[in-house]
Amino acid sequence: RYYRAEALKGQGDHAAAGMAFAELFTALAPNDPAPEGAETSGPLLFAYRAGLNAARSYREANQIDQADAAFAAFFTKFPRVPKRDQL
């Protein structure tokens, strides 16, 4: 499912990519905030990437409310990641 979302993003369909990444993030994100470094491997790697790409894709689609919600959900589950988008 992750690469389907990547394909949508690659085709320039940022709104659909945002939805696909957001659905995947919801499915894969941990119940509790992830510890520092958890985003670097295993299943949480794809949760991390899906959450960040959901927010970025919504931003590219100019769907600001969805982008804000996606960033908020992302930082709730991954509060200790070293690389964050600069907004």
CA quadruple 55, 37, 81, 29: dihedral positive or negative? Answer: positive
Say which residue, 59 or 81, is predicted with more confidence.
59
Residues 31 and 29: their CA atoms lie apart, in Å, by 7
Cα(60)–Cα(22) distance, integer angstroms? 14
Q: Which residue has the higher pLDDT, 14 or 37?
A: 14
Average pLDDT over residues 72-76: 95
pTM value? 0.89
Mean pLDDT of 58-70: 97
Taking all residues of the chain, what is their mean pLDDT, rounded to a whole number?
92
Is the pLDDT assigned to residue 56 strictly greater than 50?
A: yes
Percent of the chain with pLDDT strictly greater than 70: 93
With a cut of 70, say whether residue 80 has pLDDT above it. yes
pLDDT(84) > 70: no
